[in-house]
A and B are shown apart, each in its own frame.
Chain A
Amino acid sequence: MGSNSLYGPLDPAPDAGYTDAPPRMGFFTDTSVCIGCKACEVACKTWNAVPDDGFDLLGHSYDNTGGLTANSWRHVAFIEQPRSSSGAGTDVPGAFAGLPVGPSSVPATNVVAARAGADTGTSPGIRPAVDALAAAATAGTEFLGTAPATQASPAGGAQFLGMPMTDLPGRVNEAPRTDFRWLMMSNVCKHCTHAGCLDVCPTGALFRTEFGTVVVQEDICNGCGYCISACPYGVIDRREDDGRAWKCTLCYDRLGDGLEPACAKACPTESIQFGELSELRERAARRVETLHENGVAEARLYGNDPSDGVGGDGAFFLLLDEPEVYGLPPDPHVPTRDIVLMWKRAGLAALTMAATAVVAFAGRRQ
């Protein structure tokens, strides 16, 4: 084991024992050009023969997948925000000049959406929000006070699930001006440099490929579920009817044949870019620079930094808002970062326990 085997910048494939490993491959997902077509989701399912995950209307804007699960290895997130496309809020004068106005469906549908659970045939799958009111505030803060939130009766009756309105935006005037922007992001397994799932797998079913990616061997996995709790991004999940853990393989089979992964192949806007990670990182840095020059100040990279809590992601992103808005943890770390300290504390506790037992029996006999 190298000095950074548990934590810190690292090239994972050679560390895993590969000699002559090919360059590390990965994804750069540029959300600024994502159009939310979900071709990636479809291509992934088709190529990898991933089962369906139910046909629910979740009310998450146009997101009816809900999140990454054992049966969804790509997931397109849709966020509706009361902000102009430059990221400016309603309090910035002129930010909405020349844009259409009219009610958006954000706050009310967020409450309904947050209460909706989806049966994806996986466990834990997509679960309803713990706190629907907090959820309502997640993408429509400025409107919670004025939105017809009470109309969405959870007890029954018509629920507005965020389907497209029957009238044109701007034609209805009873609500205040509610311009919004749409954020779309195709989420995927991050193929971390230090992968929690891989570190804790007790059977060796999860392994590091020569491309530096992380793959589950379905003929080995016994469904212990440890990887699911160990993933700081909540990616890997268990399939209910099959009991095993599943996630994106970065199309390991296609990579072996020199092909790009199905999702990247299908992406019509090159939002999903596949390639050598080092090259992708350079390309992403240039892209952020360009966006900043064009006035998109909120563009930022996520998961590109090899010195972050997981040693950098093999699949990283360009985001237009804070990571948590997209359902990503703001500053994740691999749980095994502290494994040495954890074992030391457990050892100390074990010694305490042994000493206590010895003391309990010491002294004169009964």
Chain B
Amino acid sequence: MSSVSPPPAGHPGSGLSRDEAPGGPTRSPRKRGGSSRKRGGGDRSMVPEADFQSYYGRPIVRPPVWTHDIAIYLFTGGLAAGSSLLAAGGQATGNAALRVAGRTTALGALGASTFFLIKDLGRPDRFLYMLRVAKPTSPMSMGTWLLSLFGGAAGVAAAAEVAPFLPDHGVLGLARKVLPPVGSAAGYGAAVLAPGLATYTAVLFADTAVPSWNAVYPDLPFMFAGSALASGAGVGLIAAPGRPARRMAVAGAAIELAAGHRVEHGYGMLSEPYTTGRPGKLLRAARILTVAGAVGAVVGRRSRVVSALAGVSLLAGSVLTRFGVFEGGVHSAEDPRYTVVPQREGLNKAGGNKVSGPAPTT
């Protein structure tokens, strides 16, 4: 570095000005979202109140242009993945009710996913341009291919469910005979792709400059995987409650809650947007619904109604999880604090040297 090293905090020209104003307080107590931020004893040690400079308080990184369509897509994509796993399980264990429910939900969720993804484009008529290239550095490119392949498989699997309603003779009769085995293969194919479909969205969010999405990349895929499993299990609990769906519900909820806890508390200041304001409320509500769903799935195993309610609770929890993560990231991009302070702290720790090198491998 040929540039001069920055002066220490507190000096004029330093990034962290701690000068007291001559004859007046430097800063008024900061208010966020209309109410004073709670600084309970637990919070205090975790996130120190950071002082920073910015250009008229404007965001540095640009908040995502994505609308809630993308939060909905996270849910529907996860639901498609979870329910196709459910369908494949039903297929393998001869549970027709699970298979049918899983396949139809997967197809419906897939249709919704495609709709919301295309709707969110600035030029929806150019959606096919997504398939011009395949780029591993672009999670969106990888995801589009994954979604397309999954869509083919899940579509065929769902189409196979009409076989019993076809006539015995003629071309349709042939279809009646051919569809079940083809649907079976397609169902397994979709199940193989499903975990990728459910987790690539975490990379999609993490591979951005949005501070609170980028930082949590080690745990976000697990949070989304758990959420997808829980939502798939939710469909199972509604349509055909049984041991597999209950197990999947409990395991999915456990994975989601464990990973979610690390996202919300393990990243210092960059976890803050997930615990405060609207995203914090959404994620707290999601946690309650997910826990209620998992508990309901276990204790309600003798009641169809309780099982179905547990399923609804899991689905609602999954929706709110996605909205909470989406909005938490948007909030972290809107406030320049989350861009400046972590980078500045890193610089100060390293004595002014750039520390943006690769993160230590985990």
A residues apposed to B, CB below 8 Å: 6-7, 60, 66-67, 77, 79, 83, 87-92, 110, 113-114, 123-124, 126-127, 129-139, 141-146, 176, 196, 199-205, 220-226, 228-238, 242-245, 285, 288-289, 292, 297-302, 304-305, 307-310, 321-322, 324-333, 335-339, 341-343, 345-354, 356-357, 359-361, 363, 365-366
Contact = CB atoms under 8 A, between A and B. Distances in A.
Interface in B53-109: 53-66, 81, 85-86, 88-89, 92-95
Given A335-B207, A353-B198, A356-B248, A228 B354 contact: no
A126 B47 CA distance: 28
Contacts of B93: 361, 365-366
Contacts of A199: 135, 137-138, 207
A6 B86 CA distance: 38
A365 B122 contact: no
Contact of A346 (B53, B59, B95, B200): B200
B120 interface: yes
B221 A349 contact: yes
A338 B358 contact: yes
B199 A145 contact: no
B123 A341 contact: no
B202 A349 contact: yes
Contact of A288 (B2, B126, B209): B2
Nearest to B85: A357
A351 B195 contact: yes
Given A7-B358, A222-B127, A342-B203, A138 B62 contact: no
B6 A300 contact: yes
A229 B66 contact: yes
A183 to B, nearest CB: 10
Contacts of B210: 229
B171 interface: no
B141 interface: yes
Interface stretch (B153-161, B280-288, B336-344): B336-344
Interface of B: 1-4, 6-7, 11-15, 17, 19, 21-28, 30-32, 52-66, 81, 85-86, 88-89, 92-95, 120-124, 126-127, 129-130, 132-133, 135-141, 144, 191, 194-196, 198-200, 202-204, 206-210, 214, 217-219, 221-222, 224-226, 228-229, 233, 242-245, 247-248, 251-252, 255, 331, 333-337, 339-340, 343-344, 346-347, 354-359, 361-362
16 contacts: A7-B358, A60-B56, A176-B23, A202-B130, A203-B130, A220-B129, A221-B123, A223-B123, A225-B66, A299-B4, A324-B340, A325-B53, A331-B356, A356-B248, A356-B255, A366-B244
A325 B19 contact: no
Contact of B95 (A353, A356, A366): A366
Given A142-B22, A353-B195, A88 B57 contact: no
The CB with the most chain A CB atoms within 10 A, among B57, B65, B224, B247, is that of B57
Contacts of B21: 141-146
A244 to B, nearest CB: 6
A327 B229 contact: no
B119 to A, nearest CB: 11
A301 B122 contact: no
A346 B202 contact: yes
Given A91-B22, A135-B54, A345-B221, 14 more contacts: A87-B12, A130-B334, A130-B335, A131-B30, A138-B56, A225-B122, A330-B344, A337-B358, A341-B217, A342-B217, A348-B222, A349-B202, A353-B229, A366-B95
B69 to A, nearest CB: 11
Contact of B137 (A6, A235, A348): A6
A202 B123 CA distance: 14
Contacts of B95: 365-366
Contacts of B55: 67, 77, 79, 138-139, 324-327
Q: Which 6 A-B pairs have the closest CB atoms?
A: A145-B24, A223-B122, A135-B57, A309-B356, A243-B122, A129-B57
Nearest to A5: B137
A300 to B, nearest CB: 3
A43 B243 CA distance: 69
Nearest to B241: A366
Given A204-B132, A238-B122, A350-B225, A333 B26 contact: no
B223 to A, nearest CB: 8
Given A202-B140, A357-B229, A131 B12 contact: no
B56 A231 contact: no
Contacts of A225: 64-66, 120-122
Contacts of B222: 345, 348-349, 352
B48 to A, nearest CB: 15
B199 A349 contact: yes
Contacts of A304: 2-3
Contacts of B221: 345-346, 348-350
Given A145-B25, A222-B130, A132 B356 contact: no
A348 B355 CA distance: 27
A168 B81 CA distance: 69
A219 to B, nearest CB: 9
B144 A202 contact: yes
The CB with the most chain B CB atoms within 10 A, among A144, A146, A234, A304, is that of A234
A354 B132 CA distance: 30
B209 A229 contact: yes
A242 B121 CA distance: 11
Contacts of B214: 335
